[in-house]
Amino acid sequence: MNPNSHRYEGGFPKIGIRPIVDRRKLVKAALAESTMNLAREAAAEITAVLRNPDGSPVEVVIFESCISGMTEAATCAEQFRKEGVGVLVSVSSGWCYPLETMEMDPTLPHAVWGFNGTERPGAVYLAALHAAHNQKGLPIFKIYGRHIQDQHEGKLPQDVRDQLIRFTRAGMAAALLRGKSYLSIGSVSMGIAGCIVDENFYQRYLGMRNAYVDMTEVRRRMEKHIYDEQEFQKAMAWAALHCKEGPDPNPESVQISPESKLKNWETSIRMTMIVRDLMIGNPRLAEKGYEEEAYGYNAIASGFQGQREWTDHLPSADVLEAVLCSSFDWNGIREPYMIATENDNLNAITMLLNHYVSYTAQIFADVRAYWSPEAVERVTGWRADGMAASGFIHLINSGPAALDGTGEQQRDGQPVMKPHWEIKEHEVQACLDAVSWRPTYMDQFAGGGYSTDYTSRGGMPVTMARINLISGLGPVLQLAEGYTIDLPEAVHEQLDLRTTPTWPTTWFVPRLVADDPVFGDVYTVMEAWGSNHCAVSYGHIGEDLITLASMLRIPVNMHNIETSRIFRPSAWSAFGTKDLEAADYRACAAYGPLYG
C-alpha cells in the first residue's frame, strides 16, 4: 500500500467562473453565448496551466447559465458551495447590473475580467463592479486588457491571461489552506520565537487549525511498533542502497560504533514514517488494530522540535526532515511534505505558500552569513567576480533542505527543482548520488543521527522568503528573488569548513536594485532579514507571493519585484499609488485578516 494514496481524500478546491450578462432580453440574447465563450476560454487557460498538489489539473466549474440578476447569483453561489469552489472569477463582455450580480462571500478570492471592447463595454461593468465591491469592503482583483478588442474576438490577450493565471494560482493556494492544520510536534526549540504557535494567525489569516503532539508520542509509536513493519524493511533497504554515508566529522574518541550508527538509521527511518503518519494518517495502522492512530491530523505542514529534549539522547530529526521535504522516498516520486526543523512554524508556513505557488520542494535554511568580496579575498585569496562580485549569502541548515535542492534535476540542460510529476527516476538517483549522509556532531547532537551534506548547483533562479510576526502589527512577508551560484571548489571548501560542513549549503545572491534602500547591495538584504531562518523555493515566484499575501491581508515589507509585476486587489490603489509598500500596509490594516 502506498501511504500517500489517501493524502487528499477530501479532494481539492475548485475554481468557479461566473458568466455575467445584462438582463435586458435583447441584450442578453445578443451577449449570452459570447460571454459563455469567454468563460470557456478562461477555463481552458486555467486548466492548461494550474495543477493540484497531486499533479492533476485544477477543476474549473462554469455556472450553467449567465447571471443577470440576484436570483441567478444566489443559485450560482449555492451550486459553487456544494461543489467546493474556493476561488471565483467573474466574466463579462458588456454592461451588467453590479449590485444585482455580485458575489458577496468575503472569504473567497474573487477576480473580475471585463472584456475590453467598445461595442458592449465589459470594462464599464468591471469599473462599476469593483467600485461596488470597494464601497462594500469586499476587495476584488480587476483583470483589464490593455488593448481594445473586437467583440467577435473572444480570445484572451497575453496580459489578461497572465493576470488570470497569477490570480487563480494564488487563489488556489489560499483555498488549499482553508480547513487544514499545522501539526506541532514538541514545543519551542532552543528559545526560537518562530516556534511559538500563534493560533490567532493560523485561524484568522490562513483559515487553518492547529494540532499538538508531544515528542513522546513518536517515542511511544516506535517502542510499540505502531508503524508499517513491511514499509520499514523496504525503507531500510532503500536507505542502505541509496544513502551513502560520508566521513564522520567527530574525533575518534567520541565516534560511536558501527552498530550504534545502524540503530540510528533504524530510529531515523521509524521517525520519518511516524511523523508522516501523524500528519496524514495511515490506513495500514487500522489494519494492525490502531484505529485512532490511523486517522492523522489532516496536516499540510508540521514541525519537529528536536533540540534539545529529543536530540540530547535520541537521533536528530535531520533524516526525517530531509526525506519528507523531498519529492521522493522509498515509495517513489510523490509530493513533498512541508516539515520545519526546530518546529519553526512560521518558516513551515512560508515553505507551504512557496510550494503551493511553485509546486516544488523547498529548502529550509539558516540565513547564516553574508560574505563580502573583501572578506572572501582575505580568507581565500580569491576576488569574487561575476554574480558573486557584490558578495553572497550562505544559506545552510542541518536537515530539512529537500534533496531536490542539490539542483541535480535538469530542464534544457540547466539545474532545476521540478514539480514532482515532472521528475524522472534518473533525476531522483542523481539527487541521491549528490548527497553524503554525515554523522552528526556529537557536541551538538548527543543522540547521534545523520545530516545531509550537499551543495546546491549554481545558476538556479530562486526566491528566498519568510513570514514574521510583529507585535502590534501582525504577520508580514519578506522575500528576495535571486540566484544560486557556484564558487570555485577551493573557495567553497575554505568557507564551508568555517561553519558546519556536514550540512547542505546554498550560496545565494539576491537580484540587486539600484538605489533601493534594501536591495542596493547584498549586505543590506542580509541585514534587513527578519529572522534566523528562511524558505527557499525554485523559481522567481515573488509576484505570486505578493498576490497571495494581499488575499490573506499580509503586508509585504521587503521585496525586489518590479512594479509592473505586482498584482493586488483594485482597492489597494485607493490607499495610495505613489508608495505601494505603504499602501499595502494601510489596505491590509483596513480590511483585516481574510477570516476576520
Which string of b and e fits 288-312 if b means at least 16 CB within 10 Å?
Answer: eebeebbbbbbbbbbbbbbbeebbe
Sign of CA dihedral 65, 68, 71, 77: positive
Question: Using H for helix, E for strand and C for coil, what is the string for 84-107?
Answer: CEEEEEEEECCCCCHHHHCCCCCC
Are 529 and 334 a contacting pair, CB within 8 Å?
no
Cα distances from 345 to residues 152, 188, 341, 385, 473, in angstroms, run 51, 10, 9, 37, 18
Q: Integer distance in angstroms from the first to the last C-alpha of the chain?
A: 41
Please, which residues have CB within 8 angstroms of residue 390's CB and are 6 or more apart in sequence? 373, 384, 509, 512, 521, 522
List pLDDT tens digits, range 461-509. 999 999 999 999 999 999 999 999 999 999 999 999 999 899 999 999 9
Task: Please list the residues that pair with 299 across neighbouring strands.
Answer: 181
What is the per-residue DSSP string for 435-452? -EEEEPPTTT-TT--EEE
Rounded Cα distance between 144 and 128, Å, is 13
Q: What is the pLDDT of residue 1?
A: 47
342 counts as catalytic: yes
Q: What is the pLDDT of residue 130?
A: 87
Task: Please list the residues that pair with 508 across neighbouring strands.
Answer: 393, 484
Are 35 and 19 a contacting pair, CB within 8 Å?
yes
| Grid cell digits, residue 228 | 508499517
List pLDDT tens digits, range 362-386. 999 999 999 999 999 999 999 999 9
Q: Is 527 annotated as a binding-site member?
A: no
What is the per-residue DSSP string for 124-182? HHHHHHHHHHHHTT---EEE--SS-B-TTT----HHHHHHHHHHHHHHHHHHHHTT-EE
335 counts as catalytic: no
The DSSP letter of residue 119 is S
64 backbone φψ class: left, alpha, beta (φ>0; ψ -120 to 50)? alpha
Q: Is 366 annotated as a binding-site member?
A: yes
Strands lying side by side in the sheet with 209-213: 209-213, 181-185, 299-304, 339-341
Burial of 42 (0-12, 13-18, 19+ CB in 10 A): buried
What is the per-residue DSSP string for 348-416? HHHHHHHHHHH-S-EEEEEEEEEE-HHHHHHHHS----GGGTT-EEEEE-SS-S-GGGG--EEETTEEE
Q: Per-residue confidence of the chain (596 residues) as pLDDT tens digits?
A: 455 666 887 899 999 999 998 878 777 777 778 889 999 999 999 999 999 999 999 999 999 999 989 999 999 999 999 999 999 999 987 778 888 889 999 999 999 987 666 566 667 787 888 899 999 999 999 998 776 666 666 678 888 999 999 999 999 999 999 999 999 999 998 888 888 999 999 999 999 999 999 999 999 999 999 999 999 999 999 999 999 999 999 999 999 999 999 999 999 999 999 999 999 999 999 999 999 999 999 999 999 999 899 999 999 999 999 999 999 999 999 999 999 999 999 999 999 999 999 999 999 999 999 999 999 999 999 999 999 999 999 999 866 799 999 999 999 999 999 999 999 999 999 999 999 999 999 998 989 999 999 999 999 999 999 999 999 999 999 999 999 999 999 999 999 999 989 999 999 999 999 999 999 999 999 999 999 999 999 999 999 999 999 999 999 999 999 999 999 999 999 999 999 999 999 999 999 999 98
Catalytic residue among 366, 427, 453, 481: 366
Are 448 and 516 a contacting pair, CB within 8 Å?
no
Q: Is 342 annotated as a binding-site member?
A: yes
Q: What is the pLDDT of residue 144?
A: 86
Catalytic residue among 342, 481, 496, 543: 342
| Grid cell digits, residue 135 | 464601497
Which residue, 188, 110, 126, 116, is CA-closest to 153? 116
